[in-house]
Amino acid sequence: MKAVILVGGFGTRLRPLTVNTPKPMLPLVGTPFIEWMLTNLRDQGIDEAILCVQYLADRFRIALGDGSRLGMKVHIIEEPEPRGTAGAVKHVAHLLDDTTFVFNGDVMTDLDLQAMLAFHRAKKSQLTIALTPVEDPTAFGLVETTADGQITRFLEKPKPEEVTTNMINAGTYIIEPHLFDDIPANQHYMFERGLFPSTLQKNHPMYGFASDAYWTDIGKPQTYLDVHHDIINGKVRFALPGTQAKPKLWVGKNVTIAADVTFSGPVVVGDGAHIASGCVITGPTIIGAHTQVGAGTAITASVIWQENHLGADVVVSHSVIGHRNRIAAGVKIHNGTIISDDTVIDGDNSLDRGVRVWPGTTLAKQSISFQ
Ligand code: GDD
Ligand code: MG
């Protein structure tokens, strides 16, 4: 069976992390999210995937090739311009001839795909949408169903007063191929505002498959951190890299950790990392491969990618640091700060309250402080 994965979005809400790295290629505990997703599909019996790419398409080609490294067949197809979620599938419809899974490429879920397929077939559904409960449906597609799951209404990004259920479109669909004929060719067209409402109007059987599977949209800074916390707290199936040195500590190869470093909570340290004397690392935290952490530095509930250099007595908490940054001694990084790639943060800077530092920025001494 084939799957289409929609990975064309710009990842705007995750900028500047997504300036150099498309959202589905963002590392989750050191592995690009899309690799977790493909492996999860393969392990659930889907071994051919078509990626509809747009933004930073080469990053997918370089990382995934033809998929053989992952034991799959992967096609990477670039749209001439963003065609929208349904338009992207139309653009690859020549590769599809049977019942097809479609996935939003920014959702982490361990949904049981074979159970969803069995439901789709048992109901003789033409289009089945996985549903998940959320607290606030206004950022999602609201889906109303009858008691046996037949969809009666689809409303994308409802206003607060329009919310009638907490069940939303979880971003996994099963679609019968004849419906691809209903998507206009060569134009921007959305499932959410186009094909779903129009299929409903035509009275084609459309069902919602509700489940309590793990589900997170990784597309916002807070959820990007949350998903790491869930992974290393074991809430979603994920093979953590390295070997388990202590109950809540995983370390890669060629790591050096000074004898007096304190770890608490779950922490993953990537290959070749170096953690100097007196550091205090509080999980859930990921320290990426080949990152150097200077003496006396404290890191709490943060995600640090590869090849960073943190000086002595740096403080990092609840923040994300991208690739190859140089952070001088004593710098403070707090509270949802995002530092992307290749920055130089000189001494006496204090970053707080969701500050976002763009790739290649140099912050001279005493450039930023928060009261
Ligand atoms: N190839 C391609 N081309 N992909 C696209 C395009 C496009 O023009 N536009 C969006 N995508 C991809 C995005 O990369 C993402 O993986 C997926 O389609 C959904 O787009 P988002 O921009 O992330 O949409 P959203 O999060 O606001 O809402 C969607 O997902 C929610 C679940 O997370 C909707 O499907 C909602 O109904 C749903 O609840
Ligand atoms: Mg999204």
- CA of 89 from ligand 1 middle (Å) equals 12
- Give the residues surrounding ligand 1 with Cβ less than 6 Å away: 6-9, 52, 54, 79, 82-85, 88, 104-107, 140-141, 156, 168-169, 171, 192, 217, 219
Nearest CA to ligand 1 atom 13: 9
* Interval 229-262: pLDDT, tens: 899 888 998 988 999 999 999 999 999 999 999 9
Q: Give residue 9's pLDDT.
A: 81
- CA of 7 from ligand 1 middle (Å) equals 8
The first and second tokens of residue 217, run together, are: 């949209």
Q: Give residue 10's pLDDT.
A: 82
> How far apart, in whole angstroms, are the C-alpha atoms of residue 72 and residue 290?
29
Nearest CA to ligand 1 atom 27: 140
Which domains can be identified in the chain, with CATH numbers? Answer: 2-232 (3.90.550.10), 247-363 (2.160.10.10)
Does residue 144 register a pLDDT over 90?
A: yes
Nearest CA to ligand 1 atom 1: 8
What's the mean pLDDT in 65-92? 96
Q: pLDDT band for position 114 (50/70/90)?
A: very high
Q: Give residue 34's pLDDT.
A: 96
Cα 190 to its chain centre, rounded Å, is 21
Nearest CA to ligand 1 atom 33: 217
Nearest ligand 1 atom to alpha carbon 217: 33
Q: Give residue 290's pLDDT.
A: 98
* Interval 282-308: pLDDT, tens: 999 999 999 999 999 999 999 999 999
Does residue 140 register a pLDDT over 80?
A: yes
- CA of 199 from ligand 2 middle (Å) equals 22
Nearest ligand 1 atom to alpha carbon 137: 39
The first and second tokens of residue 96, run together, are: 């599809």
What's the mean pLDDT in 21-46? 94
- CA of 168 from ligand 1 middle (Å) equals 13
Q: Give residue 120's pLDDT.
A: 98
- CA of 85 from ligand 1 middle (Å) equals 6
- CA of 247 from ligand 2 middle (Å) equals 34
> How far apart, in whole angstroms, are the C-alpha atoms of residue 276 and residue 319?
20
- CA of 140 from ligand 1 middle (Å) equals 10
> How far apart, in whole angstroms, are the C-alpha atoms of residue 96 and residue 298?
51
Structural contact between residues 368 and 349, judged by C-beta atoms closer than 8 angstroms: yes
Of the candidates 325, 301, 323, 305, the one whose C-alpha atom is nearest the C-alpha of residue 315 is 301
Q: Specify which residues 326 forms β-bridges with.
A: 309, 344
The first and second tokens of residue 130, run together, are: 């996985």
Question: Could you check whether the bond before residue 16 is cis, i.e. omega within 30 degrees of 0?
Answer: yes
Does residue 371 register a pLDDT over 80?
A: no
pTM tops 0.85, yes or no: yes
Residue with tokens 């929609």: 6
Q: Lowest-pLDDT range, 221-230, 293-302, 303-312, 348-357? A: 221-230
Q: Give residue 366's pLDDT.
A: 86
> How far apart, in whole angstroms, are the C-alpha atoms of residue 143 and residue 206?
11
Structural contact between residues 3 and 103, judged by C-beta atoms closer than 8 angstroms: yes
Q: Lowest-pLDDT range, 34-43, 57-66, 84-93? A: 57-66
> How far apart, in whole angstroms, are the C-alpha atoms of residue 248 and residue 183?
49
What's the mean pLDDT in 106-125? 97
Q: pLDDT band for position 143 (50/70/90)?
A: very high
Distance from the first to the final alpha carbon of the chain: 56
Mutational test site, ligand 1, from 52, 90, 106, 220, max ligand atoms within 8 Å of CB = 106
Nearest ligand 1 atom to alpha carbon 191: 35
Q: pLDDT band for position 83 (50/70/90)?
A: very high
Q: Give residue 221's pLDDT.
A: 84
Q: Give residue 11's pLDDT.
A: 84
Mutational test site, ligand 1, from 77, 81, 85, 169, max ligand atoms within 8 Å of CB = 85
What value does the mean pLDDT of the chain take?
A: 95
